[in-house]
Amino acid sequence: MLAISGINLAAFFATYLGDYDWVPAAVLFASWETLYMVFLSTAVSYLLGMPLAIILVTSEKGHILENLQLNQVLGSIVNAVRSLPFIILLILAIPFTRWVVGTSIGTVASIVPLSLAAIPFVARLVETSLKEIDWGLIEAALSMGASNWQIISKVLLPEAMPSVVLGVAITAINLVGYSAMAGVLGGGGLGTLAYYHGYMRYQTGIMWITVIVLIVIVQGIQMLGDKAAGRIINKRR
């Protein structure tokens, strides 16, 4: 084992991969880019999508903060953004991206359109989770004199948490898929590597390597999500 660890990895790749000795480093770097884009855009989209979801749910008819007009306006905006194909959103968002991060090309820049696409998705996902809560619970809290804020923070969010956490995994996995298109604006990542080298340059091997890495990443995200949700449920018992 010691002998193996002594092998210079670069030399090993150069010997066995020939012209493709750059691939391992490229795949590693692209994986990092993908994880970076997915992690940050998931974080941003939950930061902004969660409040949106709470407003969407509580402003519904008969809910604690009923405001039908607001509900309809927000709902329409969410639907409008969700109906945009991501590739179009990516292009339309260029001026906004430039305004937020100062440039429209690169990995950091692609986080903006990724988040923009994910925010309404997250809003609907969390909305669904929040709606699963038994109305009886909210009613009970109301009868005990809970304030609106207490209902949101002590009833709605904790009750929906396992489902919300599973939603995070769904969102992150969706974003792994979306991030493949970041290459259009120089965002890099595994999808770009697979498309521009594997597909367009007919280096099929690279395509398969990236596909395998993507599968591993997606499995990993799902496992983490399942575990986190399970832990929350277990704690309650």
Partner 1 sequence: MRKTLSIVLIACLILTLGLAAGCSKKTEQAAPDKGAPEKQATEKLVVGAIGEPHTAMLKMVKSKLAEQGVEMEIKDFTEYSQLNPALNDKQIDANFFQHIPYLEDFNAKTNSKLVWTVKIHTEPMRIYSEKIDNLDKLADGAIVGIPNDPTNSGRALAVLQSAGLIKLKEGAGVTATERDIIENPKKLEIKMADAATLPRVLQDAAICCINTNYALDAGLDPMKAVFVEPGDSPFANVVVVRPEDKDKDSIVKLGKALQSPEIADFLKTNYPAVVLAF
Minimum CB separation of residue 106 from partner 1 in Å reads 6
- Within positions 50 to 109, which residues make up the interface with partner 1, using CB under 8 A? 91, 94, 98, 103-106, 109
Minimum CB separation of residue 22 from partner 1 in Å reads 6
Among 162, 183, 189, 191, binds partner 1 (CB under 8 A): 183
Number of H helices, E strands in the chain: 12, 0
Rule CB under 8 A: is residue 196 a binding residue for partner 1? Answer: yes
Rule CB under 8 A: is residue 210 a binding residue for partner 1? Answer: no
* Residue at token pair 């595994």: 190
Rule CB under 8 A: is residue 161 a binding residue for partner 1? Answer: no
Residue 84 backbone class (left: φ over 0; alpha: ψ -120 to 50; beta: rest): beta
Rule CB under 8 A: is residue 10 a binding residue for partner 1? Answer: no
Closer residue to partner 1 in complex, CB, 62/85: 85
- Distance between CA atoms of residues 226 and 31, nearest Å: 22
Q: Which of 192, 190, 184 is nearest to 97 (CA)?
A: 184
The one-letter amino acid at 90: L
Rule CB under 8 A: is residue 192 a binding residue for partner 1? Answer: yes
Closer residue to partner 1 in complex, CB, 18/62: 18
Cα distances from 44 to residues 41, 75, 114, 158, 230, in angstroms, run 5, 20, 9, 20, 24
Binding site for partner 1 (CB under 8 A): 22, 91, 94, 98, 103-106, 109, 183-186, 192, 196, 200-202
